[in-house]
Amino acid sequence: MIVSHHKPHHRNYSRKIMTAVRLDGKACAADLEERLKQRISKCGVEPHLAVVIVGDDPASHVYVRNKIRSCERLGIKSTHIELPEDTSQEEVAKTIISLNNDDSLHGILIQSPLPSHMNEESLTDLIDPSKDVDGFHPVNLGRIVQGRLDGMIPCTPAGVMEMLRWAEVEMTGKKAVVIGRSFNVGMPQALLLAAKGADATVTIVHSRTADAKAECLAADIVIAAVGRPEMVQADWIKPGAIVVDVGINRVDDSSRERGWRLAGDVHPDVEGVASLLSPVPGGVGPMTVAMLMANTVTSAESQHS
Ligand code: NAP
Helix (H) or strand (E) holding 295, with range, is helix 284-303
Q: Which atom of ligand 1 is nearest to the CA of 231?
A: 18
Give me the chain's average pLDDT, please.
95
Find the angle CA(123)-CA(161)-CA(47) to the nearest 5 degrees.
55
Q: Which residues form the catalytic set?
A: 67, 111, 134
- Listed in sequence order, the DSSP H helices in 108-223 are 120-126, 138-145, 155-166, 186-194, 212-217
Residue ranges and CATH numbers for the domains of the chain are 46-134 (3.40.50.10860), 154-285 (3.40.50.720)
> Each residue of 168-200: pLDDT tens digit?
999 999 999 999 999 999 999 999 999 999 999
**Is 10 close to ligand 1, i.e. is its CB under 6 Å away?**
no
- pLDDT over threshold 80, residue 162: yes
Mean pLDDT of 89-118: 97
d(CA 58, CA 62): 6
* pLDDT at site 9: 61
Is the distance from CB of 171 to CB of 193 less than 8 angstroms? yes
Main-chain phi, psi angles of 277, to 5 degrees? -140, 130
Quote the ligand 1 centre to 33 CA distance (angstroms): 27
**Is 248 close to ligand 1, i.e. is its CB under 6 Å away?**
yes
d(CA 67, CA 159): 15
**Is 294 close to ligand 1, i.e. is its CB under 6 Å away?**
no
Closest residue to atom 16 of ligand 1, CA basis: 207
pTM equals 0.95
